Structure 1
Amino acid sequence: MINGMVYKIRTGVSWRDLPERYGPWKSVYTRFRRYAIDGVFTRALQQIQAQADAAGDIDWLVQIDSTIVRAHQHAAATGRKRGKHRTDEPDDHALGRSRGGLTAEIPLACDGRGRPLAVLLTPGQRHDGVCVRPLPGRIRVPRTGPGRPRCRPDHVIADKAYSSRGFRA
């Protein structure tokens, strides 16, 4: 099952096109969805980060950048009827409308070795400098033993989009 999840993420194939050697696609999808909802992937990442920090393997020279992901034209149409917008949508549903269509922006903070420390999902029409402000506050690497998690990098490297005074503060 795990190998099927990894294959799907790495190749980007649809769930229905998952090779049969990984089992029924619906079983792999159901397990993947359950793991995502239950926070299994988040806890696994935190454990990996804690072990890497305990071994002194995290380079606290943090790099921040973002990428734009285009959504399909029908991605935002579900749940809407006759022009009425849903008001119960969570804040982290981040489809934005820009000249290129429906987009989402994914800002990421990585350590000096390119391993993820924090990630956000924001609407694509927002400026990088605005949507990335909460990202450094999301960096939280737990300790393996007692002690508070490490939340502050030694240095931050970012491009010119993040050079505003508000971001530097």
Structure 2
Amino acid sequence: MDGNASSTQEAMQKVNKLIKGIDVAMLTTIAGNKAVSRPMQTQEAEFDGDLWFLTMKDTAKYQEILENPIVNVSYSGKSYVSISGNAEFSEDLERKKEYWNPAFDKLLETTYDDPNVVLIKVSADSAEYWESGNPLKTITKFAKKLTTNERLDKDDNELNDTVDFNQQN
């Protein structure tokens, strides 16, 4: 494995570790000239550069992705992760069955084999992440700055790292 492939693999492992266990992500699409975010259930798959979500074809997000496949997926937990990429749809019935959860039967009022159910595959181009130390300390510090005239220091909101998954060999 060359250096770029190795660093890309390490970056994907880092992102996988940071988002593992965060069930809900915010998926941001472009609707005309504005960004629209909505919560989405991330499917339980190891992050290998792709993220998977289930949706219905008769939704605004489906139309938005058809018109502009550039999306962002953000995660918030002990750390914060922002993943930029391109979305595409998949009709893979076996994968839909694998990712289907019985709660979706009630939530979406259908079954995985409904032709209106579709998978969104987000192929990551890059990710940015911020690792938090003590979340309570971080929130308290941020809240203090919001309620006083103190300025945020550069180090208070410093990006830990940006990774590009499309590095040239």
What's the TM-score, normalizing by structure 2?
0.22
Higher strand proportion (structure 1 or 2): 2
